[in-house]
Amino acid sequence: MFEFRIIAECPHTGARAGELITPHGIIKTPVFMPVGTLATVKAMSPLELHEIGSQIILGNTYHLYLRPGSEIIGKAGGLHSFMGWDKPILTDSGGFQVFSLAKLQKITDESVLCRSHIDGSQLIMSPEWSMNMQGVLGSDIAMSFDQCCEFPASHEKAEEAVKRTTLWAERSKKYFESHNDTEKQALFGIVQGSVYDDLRIRSAEEITSMDFTGYGIGGLSVGESHPAMYHALDVLNDVMPKNKPRYLMGVGYPLNIVEAISRGVDMFDCVLPTRNGRNATVFTSTGRLNMRGKVHADDFSPLDPECDCYTCRNFTRSYLRHLAMCGEILGSRLFSWHNLRFTIRIAELSREAIIAGNFPDFVREFTSKFHDDNNSSD
């Protein structure tokens, strides 16, 4: 039921346009996936996500285990029916929470002992726990349980995370193939290694040898510089299989997306579009804007004249600033709407350029126009 096809490839960069076939539809790649941690993309309805062009969204195993719990979602018939979403869903394994909740847990090769960030109750997380929970969620794509380490991390600590990630990947795959419905759910492995070339290569070789349906690239966008991220992707580009989808986890900054696509990445996710939207910060074709800035008070032009989203088609910068200054909920929704569409459209335009054979021209034009110094705040 799962198949990944490469439709076109840029001969100059290795950027790929592909199709990932899943039980809930075909995903055209490159693709940006909005994050719906708690079975909702913040401020957006499923109907609006359809209009924005979302092909696939994310849910988070750890958070959904705590609220509303596996029993409720199981009774609902899985995550798709529970949240009213009829397209593909990818679920994070909970491994990132091992990293982000580091002060709350003890990690061993066997499992992770942590306490709920909600009520302090004890939780034991393991590869088997994660696969079981993701089976209940019924996502189209499940992620293997992994260990992400902080940045900076010593080579010794990063190597320990790589060893554990490989061990947990083996256990994840074994449990998944024995207990989950492999006709309806695929499992991706995750490559770790921080910013160390030897560890990235080692992790990639170990994880890809297990022949997962696809591969996540974890442990980036955790504090390292953009050049360090790009270097890690360059290193991996030569050792990861060409016939499997590659998913750069937790990356949603526009320039990072374009540069990563140039390095053979197919899938992205990040909370940045909606988090920034709730804080009146938007991405446009010329860069990032703080919409609380006075410069927008009497600007009656669209937020971004090059964007085709509902916000840009119907409202002015002046009105949007007014919503931001008044703390109106509509402002958060419209900014999130725009940011999601803008980010999704980057992937769409990249795909079109790859197929048309002019992807390097697209990259040059996009990167020459997009600047962070447009962040007016006074």
Active site residues: 92, 269
Instruction: Report whether 33 contacts 274 (CB < 8 A).
Output: no
Amino acid type, 33 = M
172: phi then psi, degrees, rounded to nearest 5? -60, -50
Cβ-based neighbour number of residue 313 at 10 Å: 10
In angstroms, the CA 197 to CA 177 distance is 31
Cβ-based neighbour number of residue 237 at 10 Å: 17
The alpha carbon of residue 22 and the mean position of all alpha carbons in its chain are separated, in whole angstroms, by 17
In angstroms, the CA 82 to CA 370 distance is 39
The alpha carbon of residue 329 and the mean position of all alpha carbons in its chain are separated, in whole angstroms, by 25
Cβ-count burial of 218 within 10 angstroms (0-12 exposed, 13-18 middle, 19+ buried)?
buried
In angstroms, the CA 211 to CA 214 distance is 8
